C-alpha cells in the first residue's frame, strides 16, 4: 500500500481525536490573533521527508515527537501506527 500525504493527515486527525486534542493547529483568540492549540499533532514536511510534531506552546513552538527528524512517509506511518496502538493499550489497561 502506498502511503500518501492524505493518508498521513487522516492518521494525525485520528491521533488528535483519540488524545482529545484539537484537530486544527491554530485558533483565533478574543483579539483575532492566531494562537497555537497546545498539544495538537501535525505533519511537518521538509528535506523530502515527513515528521510528526506536537504543538508545545501557544506561540507556535513545536516538539519532534519521535526525535528522529525527517523520514519517509512509510517509516513515519509505521511509527504513528505503533504510537496509537500504545495509546489504545494504555487506555484498555487503565480500564481494567
Measured distance CA(76)–CA(48) in Å, rounded: 13
Q: Which pLDDT belongs to residue 1?
A: 85
- Specify the number of domains making up the chain: 1
Grid cell digits, residue 41: 499533532
Domain assignment present for residue 96? The answer is no
Under a CB-based contact definition with an 8 Å cutoff, are residues 69 and 58 in contact? no
Q: Which pLDDT belongs to residue 18?
A: 95
Q: What is the pLDDT of residues 14-72, one digit of tens each?
A: 999 999 999 999 999 999 999 999 999 999 999 999 999 999 999 999 999 999 999 99
Say yes or no to pLDDT of 88 above 80: yes
Domain assignment present for residue 95? The answer is no
Q: Which pLDDT belongs to residue 95?
A: 75
Domain assignment present for residue 29? The answer is yes
Domain extent, residue 11, equals 5-87
Domain assignment present for residue 93? The answer is no
Domain assignment present for residue 92? The answer is no
Amino acid at each position: 500500500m502506498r502511503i500518501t500525504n492524505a493518508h498521513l493527515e487522516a492518521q494525525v486527525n485520528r491521533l488528535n481525536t483519540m488524545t482529545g486534542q484539537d484537530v486544527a493547529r491554530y485558533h483565533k483568540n478574543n483579539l483575532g490573533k492566531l494562537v497555537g492549540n497546545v498539544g495538537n499533532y501535525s505533519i511537518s514536511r521538509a528535506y523530502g521527508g515527513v515528521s510528526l510534531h506536537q504543538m508545545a506552546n501557544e506561540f507556535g513552538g513545536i516538539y519532534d515527537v519521535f526525535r528522529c527528524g525527517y523520514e519517509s512517509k512509510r517509516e513515519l506511518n509505521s511509527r504513528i501506527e505503533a504510537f496509537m496502538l500504545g495509546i489504545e493499550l494504555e487506555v484498555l489497561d487503565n480500564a481494567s
